[in-house]
Amino acid sequence: MADCTITPLDNGPSIVRGAFRVMDVGGTELVATGAAIALCRCGASNNKPFCDGTHVKINFQSVVRAAQPLPV
């Protein structure tokens, strides 16, 4: 079983649940508290990499579905 799951929401952010750490490119850990966080997918958040709800204002559209089961 995975320690972390990432679920891209329809027309919204990716929700990250489980044991995780968010790091910047330099290796510095970003503050992320709680059992789940929302990561921006639209690119317009003023709080990147976290979602601030801007996707609603800009009418971000993206629906992600797995094409086939991943090999085990």
Whether 37 is in a domain gets the answer: yes
Number of domains in the chain: 1
| Structural domain contains residue 68 | no
> Does residue 2 carry a pLDDT above 70?
no
Residue 43 CA, chain-centre distance (Å), reads: 11
Q: What is the mean pLDDT of residues 20-24?
A: 94
Q: Which structural domain, as residue segments, surrounds residue 31?
A: 4-57
Average confidence (pLDDT) over 13-26: 95
Greatest alpha-carbon pair distance for the chain in Å reads 39
Q: Could you tell me if residue 21 is inside a domain?
A: yes
User: Would 63 be classed as within a structural domain?
Assistant: no
The answer to the question of residue 66 being in a domain is no
Domain-located, residue 69: no
Tell me which of 2 and 15 has the higher pLDDT: 15
Threshold 0.75, pTM exceeds: yes
Q: What is the pLDDT of residues 28-46, one digit of tens each?
A: 999 988 889 999 999 999 9
Q: What is the CATH number of the domain that holds 22?
A: 3.40.5
Structure tokens at 45: 């958040």
Q: Is the pLDDT of residue 9 over 60?
A: yes
